[in-house]
Amino acid sequence: MTVRWLQSRSARKFFRHRPAVVALVVISLYLAVAVAVLLGGVTMEQTLERIGPGNLPGFQGRQLAEKRVEDCAMVLDRVEKALKRPSNLRAALGEIRYGLLRVADRPPEELRALVDQGWEIYDELVESPDLNADPSLLPQIEQLERLTGQLFAPLSGWQSLVRQFRLLLGTDRQGRSIMLRGVYSIKVAIQIGVITAFISVLIGSLLGASAAFFGGWVDHVVIWLYTTLSSIPYLVLLVVLAYAFSGAVWQFSLLGRPLSVDVGNTLIPVYVALCATFWIGPCRVIRGETLKIKQLEYVQAATATGFGRLYILVRHILPNAAHLMLINFSLLFIGAIKSEVILSFLGLGVKRGPSWGIMISHSAQEVINGFFWQIGAATVFMLVLVLAFNVLTDALQDVFDPKHL
Amino acid sequence: MTLLEVDNLVKHFPVRGGLLSRVVGRVHAVNGVSFQVPRGETLGIVGESGCGKSTLGKVLLRLLEPTSGRIVFDQQDLTQLSYRQLRPFRSRAQIVFQDPNSSLNPRLTVAAMLREVIRFHRIVPLGQTDEYIRQLLGKVGMPADAQGKYPHEFSGGQRQRLGIARALAVKPEFIVADEPVSALDVSIQAQVLNLLMDLKEEFSLTLLFISHDLKVIAHFCDRVLVMYLGYVVEELPCLDIQRDARHPYTQALLAANPINDPDERRELRVLEGEVPSPYNPPAGCPFVTRCPLVMDRCHQEMPPLETRAPGHRVACWALDPPRPGMG
């Protein structure tokens, strides 16, 4: 079966289309990452964890001297406060953690000495009138950073690699890893894309095909439904539906046990809102295609054989419209991801954990301050996926078009 | 013995329009057609594009629902049966289509297509299906390795053979051949026609052969119905059409046939005028707008189809009234 498909005309046409192959590889990578995240590669807790000072730039880029000094002071301050509570010192120190970094297991006197040394340098530095512009102060800043670093237990080789990866794209305002948040959002986006596109294409195809095939009142009802829905501006409908569900709690009992689902905090409002608007596209296309196919002679031949109407629809008509379903699936997949971003940006989408929309909406304040790493990362992650899918959809359309060589 | 009897068959297509898609008119595709087909005979139906000959073929098999009239197949009135009740009939009557490009499902292999039909009607015991498919392909002159292939891997002529194989698969008694060769190259046409003739002999089929080509009909059929704008205007045996044809339309069709002899030249008589729209047919004879023999009466009344010789019926006012006693 697979071998047969690989030798088919469509497959050969596809593999000749080089950008499409690249796009397929990119999408496979995204899918692999999504699966890895799903299997626990990145947990939601990790994306919410403070791993360092806020708004660190990516790729260990340069920062203003003033910010470097302030970041150190914040750490010194936390350690100092913990040291002032000797009754449960261990617990207080244990609370200070930046991702994998833990306070070093040293006697409190040594830690106190390090903190005092740090404060001395800090005091000197803040005295200086022009901290940012004076390069002669750099050695002192570096020394302050080294001292702060010594407060923490050294990382093993693997651990420091992991930490470097997490810091690769910098941190957001709350010191959370932009890399982890971006990667975790791949899972969120693909989950929303796949589920929404699948349900929409399924509903759209079934309604569209039945409308065209059975005609009469079925056709009237379906056309009325989709013309009505498509006369409402899509974003408004999306917002209204998402808003209507946002506070909802579903209560029902399963096997005698009462269950309540806090719908507002799940992705269900997003799915409902997206599917309710997205099924229209495939429905219209599949209805048109079914109208065309049902006139074809092989369908009449099936009727002349006496097959049941449903059998003819499922066996002779739908398989011949399958390429349109596939193309619509990939179109809706992109649409869903983009709409999720818009909804999340408006605060109606993802409620718990990160997503690209959440990242972009959170980065508003950062952009004003001239920090572009979070919005940049979210945009690039999304851009690459959407671009790859666009190229793939384009290629699929060519591949399935018998008139295109 | 009569296998198929058609009595005053009418097929109108409603035309919908306006805001509430009400029926605003009707296309008169088949207007009160009556004829009989004896078992084993090949009946030709000829006429120009849009005269309703294909519609007639499809209505006979209930692929389209007749508006009124009766279709009696082997003493059973098909118009009274539901879709489900028609199933036994479906294995006795089949159709071969015109366009070999759209008559085969592109997603089914030849074997899958035939197996589906054979199993549905339980033509042979389950274990013998594959053997039966091989035989069937042999009968229509296709190699056995065609089984695993898809329709797009075949030429037009081969696909038409596969369409014939599908029709034959249910061991039918009656086949409607709806312009089975008009989409094929001339060289292939002869092959497919000969195949149909051979199969007709072998399976003692009754055929309804629809074509717009009188020469093919004359060669192939026992009798021919000439249709014009949904009416049968003449019915005659095929022994010598050139001599027997009486209706001015049939004569015009014959005159339009090219003669394959450059020495035998003749004046080409081209019909003047337009075919009336089937949406708004004339009150009298449908041929009035183009008929060289048109009279006043033709505009008012449709001439009845009157018997003028054994097996020869003509509907025309301009001809001599039939001699009495020829009923």
**Is B144 a domain residue?**
no
- Segment (H or E) for B177: strand B174-178
**Is B309 a domain residue?**
yes
Contact B98 A297 (CB under 8 A): yes
Assess whether pLDDT exceeds 60 at residue A405. Answer: no
| pLDDT given at position B128 | 92
Q: Does A2 touch chain B (CB under 8 A)?
A: no
Residues of chain B contacting A305 with CB distance shorter than 8 Å: 90, 94, 116-117, 120-121, 170
Amino acid residing at A80: E
CA–CA distance, B108 with A150 (Å, rounded to integer)? 72
Q: Closest partner residue to B90 among A296, A305, A319, by Cβ?
A: A305
Assess whether pLDDT exceeds 70 at residue A1. Answer: no
**Is B327 a domain residue?**
no
**Is B250 a domain residue?**
yes
| pLDDT given at position B263 | 76
Assess whether pLDDT exceeds 70 at residue A2. Answer: no
- Segment (H or E) for B168: helix B156-168
Q: Closest partner residue to A306 among B86, B104, B107, by Cβ?
A: B86
Alpha-carbon gap: B194 to the closest alpha carbon of chain A (Å): 23
Q: Does A8 touch chain B (CB under 8 A)?
A: no
| pLDDT given at position B327 | 45
Q: What does DSSP say about strands B68-73 and B76-77: parallel, antiparallel, or unpaired?
A: antiparallel
Residue range A287-291: mean pLDDT, rounded: 95
Residues of chain A contacting B121 with CB distance shorter than 8 Å: 305-306
Axis crossing angle, helix A9-16 with helix A373-400, rounded to the nearest 10:
140
Minimum CA–CA partner of A300 in chain B = B63
Segments of chain B scoring below 70 in pLDDT:
265-269, 322-327
Q: Does A138 touch chain B (CB under 8 A)?
A: no
Q: Does B99 touch chain A (CB under 8 A)?
A: yes
**Is B227 a domain residue?**
yes
pLDDT tens, position by position, A336-384: 998 988 888 888 888 788 899 999 988 888 899 888 999 999 999 999 9
Assess whether pLDDT exceeds 80 at residue A9. Answer: no
Q: Provide the token pair at A77.
A: 């301050």
Alpha-carbon gap: B118 to the closest alpha carbon of chain A (Å): 10
| pLDDT given at position A6 | 62
Contact B107 A300 (CB under 8 A): no
- The pTM of the full predicted model, rounded to 2 decimals, is 0.82
C-alpha closest to that of A285 among A249, A334, A331? A331
Q: For the ranges A25-39, A49-63, B231-245, which has the lowest average pLDDT?
A: A49-63
Residues of chain B contacting A224 with CB distance shorter than 8 Å: none
Q: Does B163 touch chain A (CB under 8 A)?
A: yes
Q: Does B46 touch chain A (CB under 8 A)?
A: no
Axis crossing angle, helix A268-278 with helix A280-294, rounded to the nearest 10:
40
Distances from the Cα of A231 to the Cα of A197, A235, B283, angstroms: 21, 12, 47
List of residues 6+ apart from A16 with CB closer than 8 A:
none
ipTM of the complex: 0.89
Distances from the Cα of A8 to the Cα of A399, A400, B155, angstroms: 11, 12, 18
Average pLDDT, chain A: 87
pLDDT grade for A125, boundaries at 50, 70 and 90:
confident
Instruction: Tell me the CATH number for domain A2-41+180-400.
Output: 1.10.3720.10
Contact B106 A320 (CB under 8 A): yes
Count: domains in chain B: 1
CB pairs under 8 A between A and B: 50
pLDDT tens, position by position, A127-181: 887 778 778 888 888 888 888 888 888 888 898 899 889 989 989 888 899 999 9
pLDDT grade for A403, boundaries at 50, 70 and 90:
low
Q: Does B209 touch chain A (CB under 8 A)?
A: no
Alpha-carbon gap: B102 to the closest alpha carbon of chain A (Å): 6
**Is B114 a domain residue?**
no
Q: Does B90 touch chain A (CB under 8 A)?
A: yes
Residue range A276-296: mean pLDDT, rounded: 93
**Is B22 a domain residue?**
yes
* Burial class of residue B116, CB neighbours in 10 A (0-12, 13-18, 19+): buried
Domain range for B69 is: 2-92+170-314
Q: Provide the token pair at B196.
A: 């149909």
In chain A, CATH 1.10.3720.10 sits at 2-41+180-400
**Is B196 a domain residue?**
yes
Q: What does DSSP say about strands B174-178 and B93-96: parallel, antiparallel, or unpaired?
A: parallel
